[in-house]
Structure 1
Amino acid sequence: MSDTMEPWIAELLQSGTSGDKMTEKQRRIFESAIEVFAEKGYAASSTSEIAQRAGVAEGTIFRHYKTKKELLLSIVAPAMVKLVAPFVLREFREVLEDEYDSYDQFLRALIGNRLLFLQNNMSLIKIVVQEIPFHPDLQEQFKSVVVSQVMERMERVIEKFKSEGKLADLPATTIMRLSATAVMGYVLAQAFFGPKEGANWNGEQELEATIAFVMKGLAP
């Protein structure tokens, strides 16, 4: 693993994945699996490479995890159930609970918050984005634990602006979907292209264009 541990990894290692503290070998396996899964994806990863990075015999992995899938689930499922949702919401809560004069002001705060979260927790985002489309059990975990709680809070923000006549009279779920598509498109592009030298990307200009696009489309 890299010297700088992402916050979500540190918290999950501190609490353990099943209520018990990890042994030193389990910890090394867990950290190495996160690194390999994030770099290569689940399908292209091998337990032998995870074992090599962890400095353990491959058989040691199978004493703790019966299959590679179980190892993946031991990382993602507990993280979603007991860490990711509260972790995401804790980082998100200030944005969702603050008062805003306009929806575009809310969008600016939302974008800034998600950019910081993405930059600080890149391996988690990579694993979730890469693996959720191929694992129905992870999809259900994500929808029930993360999406439902975020949507509930965003709906209150949207209904407030609708009642004030500042947003189009569309269902809150439609406004969320349209907003999220534009916001996440910008956030992901900024995270992956923005910091790179030579990239043809003007973050501020793209931010203003994204917000203008959303606000024009959602104008009452």
Structure 2
Amino acid sequence: MTEKNFTNYFADWISAQAFPPGKQKALLAASELFSQQGYDATSTAQIAKKAGISEATIFKYFKTKRALLMTVLSPMSDGLIPSIQTDFWNDFKQQKFNSATDLLHALVTDRVQYFQQNIVIAPILMD
């Protein structure tokens, strides 16, 4: 399959927004740290350091760390997940299968691989 992973979609989404550079940096750093460490284990000081901005800049754009998390998650539910689903089905429909077993095998294999490539998002969604 040719689809992108969540990290690429999120980076593309951020770059397409009219966000100031500090907000973009905060979102990218937060998404990376939340996915590596989980929400609770990530501090705004760590996010600021990773982003190369001050903690005050984070709170300029986000009232709370929770608001930052919601901004990270928002494009995933609003646009990224439906877009990824569309990409998957469009690619999958173009393939030819000799049997239902072959189709099922390809489907399961593809989704397992996709999950492995996107495991980075799990700590954000499960926290």
**Which residue of 2 is the match for residue 33 of structure 1?**
30
Query: Runs of 4 or more off by more than 4 Å in structure 1?
Result: 96-101
Number of residues of Structure 1 aligned to a counterpart in Structure 2: 122
After the TM superposition, which residues 96-107 of structure 1 pair with which residues of structure 2 at under 5 Å, given as runs? 100-107=97-104
Shift of 1:9: 2.2
| Aligned mates of 2:122, 2:95 — CA distance in 1 | 25
Alpha carbon RMSD of aligned pairs, Å? 2.3
Give the counterpart of 1:43 among 40, 43, 47: 40
After the TM superposition, which residues 198-209 of structure 1 pair with which residues of structure 2 at under 5 Å, given as runs? none
TM-score normalized by structure 2?
A: 0.79
Instruction: Please tell me the residue identity of whatever aligns with 1:111.
Output: V
Give the counterpart of 2:77 among 80, 84, 88: 80
DSSP-derived class of the 2:19 partner: coil
Quick check: 2:33–2:47 contact (8 Å CA) kept in 1?
A: yes
Instruction: Please tell me the residue identity of whatever aligns with 1:22.
Output: F
Higher RCO structure (Cα 8 Å, ≥6 apart): 2
TM-score normalized by structure 1?
A: 0.49
Q: Deviations over 1:176-210 (max 9, x none)?
A: xxxxxxxxxxxxxxxxxxxxxxxxxxxxxxxxxxx
Matched, 1:69 2:70: no
Shift in alpha-carbon separation, 1:119–1:113, aligned structure 2, 3 A: same
Consecutive unaligned residues in structure 1, runs of 5 or more: 132-220
**Which residue of 1 is the match for residue 16 of structure 2?**
15
For the pair shown, which has the larger CA radius of gyration, 1 or 2?
1
Consecutive unaligned residues in structure 2, runs of 5 or more: 1-5
Instruction: Please tell me the residue identity of whatever aligns with 2:63.
Output: K
After the TM superposition, which residues 105-144 of structure 1 pair with which residues of structure 2 at under 5 Å, given as runs? 105-128=102-125, 130-131=126-127
